[in-house]
Chain A
Amino acid sequence: MYGWAGKILRIDLDREKVSSHPLTKEQAELFLGGRGLGAEILFRELPRGTNPLSPENKMIFATGPLTGTGAPTSGRYSVTTRSPLTGTVFDSNSGGHFGVQLKRSGWDAVVLEGRAERPSYVWIRDDAVEVRNADHIWGSNTHATEDKIKSETDKDAKVACIGPAGERQVLISSIINDKHRAAGRGGVGAVMGSKNLKAIAVLGSQEPTTANQEEFTAAGRSSLEAISKNPVTKDSLPNYGTAVLMNIMNEIGALPTFNFQRGFFEDADAISGETIRERILEKRVACDACTIACGRATKIPGKDRQGEGPEYETVWALGAACGVGDLEAITEASYLCNEYGLDTISTGSTVACAMELFSAGHLSGGPKFGDAQAIVDYVKLIGERSGIGNELAEGSLRFARKHGHPECSMSVKGLEMPAYDPRGIQGMGLAYATSNRGACHLRAYMTSVEVLGNPALIDRFKIDGKASLTILLQNIAAATDSMVLCRFSQFAMNPDHYARLLQAVTGVPFTARDLISIGERICNLERAFNAREGFSRKDDSLPRRLLETPLPEGHSKNMTVALDPMLDEYYRLRGWTSNGVPTASTLSEMKLYDASKQIAEKYAV
């Protein structure tokens, strides 16, 4: 087996028992790794109805066949589990350097099960695996945790850990690796916390194998050339980071502001990538094997505070969504999110939801839109589950429901929406609604097609063709999430680039169409997992505001999302029922025989 390590590490935290299992050829070729492998293991092993925060839930940290090979943007890993926030299958994906070390330690994936009796961390050095006591670091923030674990293991080790938020099982908590990189979404940090697992540290010494080195070099060169020639990956992201989108989205009137009540923010430029570069940027930062280097090492002027970010989604969620245009406050809140281990999108959006309730008078005594100090204070309250933070720690949907206004939660399946108002980008609305993990911009980044013109510009207000393109991007995303590559590669690389790299590394003659089929299989398996748990069309929806209330101003004025016709078309093209459930025959065609059987049984009546 080339590319893959060929082994899966299983750690039973109940018994502190470690075992090695082969990665089968079938697993590798049908699901690749990363997100696909995680979904395969979770679907097969997790009983229906498993409580996400119980010891029975599992976590799969997985790399892919390209991880560690040096293929462009391949320095990533994914974490798959059943999300406590959404109840769906959930994979969260992160860059930095942790993934490469995990692969170099000789494991394609680590499956964590059970719950440690007391706070613990896992130390993996090639085949040597230990479960160690973490009593002394429980309660530490992510930075202190990483420093301490490195001092106890190896200074070159890479650490993925939770902060106080994950320990307290905050449902919007993340896993932080390399201090600043987050497997951010879906409350994966809470699942780790529920297992009493503070961190995983890895250091590997094994070089991944490549089937055809000469061809791999040529394929890598071709991919790098594409990245170096695409306007987004050669100029926009390197120069201004992801926050380059701030002014662009504002200009088209699709920058969600005041909790999606508006699509235009007067202070957008003050929190844009251009302003970040001018005021707080120290240097650019790259993940492993990446030439784009969109990361921003930053420093708050006049304060002894340094860190990375804020990214576009962060500066939006903690900024525009809350009506805040104070870059210093947003940056401080962003640093705190990384230190507590909080998802910045869900945190900002949940605070925005609370601000709407306070501003509208549904709740009293709290901050209103535009209160910059409040975003800093609220991050701390959420991270510590203190005061109102204990309610906000459950995410916006549970919070808004509790106070009688679920319509104020801007979420899908309980996951808070990112920084693109779908009223101005219709296909993005369908992508949010149909994403198997809830509102996510990365499952099918239709903004690339509808706004940025990559690989071509398609009218953002039309719905014609959007179902089909959403499916194509979802399938490709599922495949590349399983290889595991960064979504940003897709601005420049095409399906043939991906297939060529994968073929050169693994020696398996994958074509671009094979990759699309693999992605389709993964999307269907995730959908079958969710269907098994009772998810259906009712969950593939958007907040009522986006469907019924037109944007009041800006260049997307008067628009709402025309979801239903897109959704009908989407289900038809997917081969699913009009209720959004894959048919048994569709699943069988994708060689998902077990899923086919289970779905047939569940929907037999």
Chain B
Amino acid sequence: MSNRKAMKVLMVILIACLFITTGCMDTKKKGDAKWALFKTTNPNPAVLNETSEEFAFSEEIHKFVLSFPEIYDAAIVVGDKQVLVAYKVKQMQRFKMKKIEKKLKKKLEKKFKDQNRKFTVSSDFKIFLEVVELNENLKDEKYSRKKAKKHFKKIIKLEKEKT
């Protein structure tokens, strides 16, 4: 097969793969979620039960997480019994990722002991993206809260997945 022909075949296969895989996409990401992987978004923390105490609590967590010098972006969702904290670590600090995760979880649990909630912290980009997406959805008042809780559970399950 000549080189030009081989290139053409390869291009067709690659483009076909691209179309097939992107065709599987079911929903379009909106708002901040579009660029959450690449830009600093720092979204306002979201709460599943919209009460003023919950909002205050989530704001407090957000401030606390951003007070860490290694962290530059944080997305938070406060649920009934669980709090999900997704964050981005500064590039050169990524070598100490595990250490930062442990430190953050320990300090969060210590500071908000009285809240009796389980903290799930993650520096994973996917978790961050999902949290921002959930946050964007929660801004829409028509979005059902039942769906939001389901999405929240799905993110926590995804965080626990290792392989």
A pairs with B: no
List A residues at the B interface (Cβ < 8 Å): none
- Taking Cβ atoms with an 8 Å cutoff, the residues of B that contact A are none
